[in-house]
Structure 1
Amino acid sequence: MNSLSEFKNSLTFASAPNNLSPQLLSLWYDGKGDWKKAHDQVDHLSDKDSAWVHAYLHRKEGDLWNADYWYARAKKIRPNISLENEWSDLVLQFL
């Protein structure tokens, strides 16, 4: 998978494409509307990339305190962009 459009198209599949990183798998589940499965993919991971996705998920959930904690773990600042734009930015980052 090489582009955002390919990734978005994969959201029509019943199951996730093979060989997605944990971060992309999380974003795939989020794109499918399954926040819990998305969260489960990164909740137990401690690397910066997973923390960034984790932060986005808590921002989406509306738990900004928790989101800011994870943004800090990712060495990022909560962005002032739409959730849709952040999701796209994250997918592009990890493709």
Structure 2
Amino acid sequence: MTMEAFDLSLADPAPPPGLPDHLLALWHDARGDWQTAHALVEEGLTPPACHVHAYLHRREGDMSNARYWYRRAGEVAADGPGETEYRALLARYLRPNQGDRGALPQS
């Protein structure tokens, strides 16, 4: 899926079929449904789920929690505008077979 197709899908009543949970979370967050977005990645153990989880907590203003999830994702904590991080997450995770390094070890 392209970023343009993802953006257009935000006007639809339901997300595009077949999106992994971390992209579904970004879809719901973009539509203003932080709670659903968070629920989708709350138990996620993949690096992309942890990365999106970190982004969501950063948007919420809970930087301590966000930093924990950035570490779990193996990512450096973002510090620029939230919209820039959102677009970067989409660009990274919409590419097939990119950015998903599998499940993280339990801690």
* Shared fold (TM-score, shorter chain, > 0.5): yes
Instruction: Tell me which residue corresponds to 1:58.
Output: 57
Structure 1 SS opposite 2:17 = coil
Structure 1, gaps ≥5 residues long:
none
Using the size of structure 1 for normalisation, the TM-score is 0.95
Identity score, percent: 40
Instruction: Tell me which residue corresponds to 2:44.
Output: 45
Bigger fraction of residues in helix: 1
Instruction: Tell me which residue corresponds to 1:8.
Output: 7
Q: Report the count of equivalent residues.
A: 94
Question: More displaced, 85-94 or 54-63?
Answer: 85-94
Structure 2, gaps ≥5 residues long:
95-107
Question: More displaced, 73-82 or 60-69?
Answer: 73-82
One-letter code aligned to 2:76: I
Instruction: Tell me which residue corresponds to 1:94.
Output: 93
Distance 1:65 1:19 in 2: 32
User: Equivalent residues in 2 for 1:73-92 (5 A)?
Assistant: 73-92=72-91
Distance 1:25 1:10 in 2: 11
TM-superposition CA deviations, 1:28-84 (whole Å, max 9, x none):
000111000000111011111110000000000000000000000011111121101
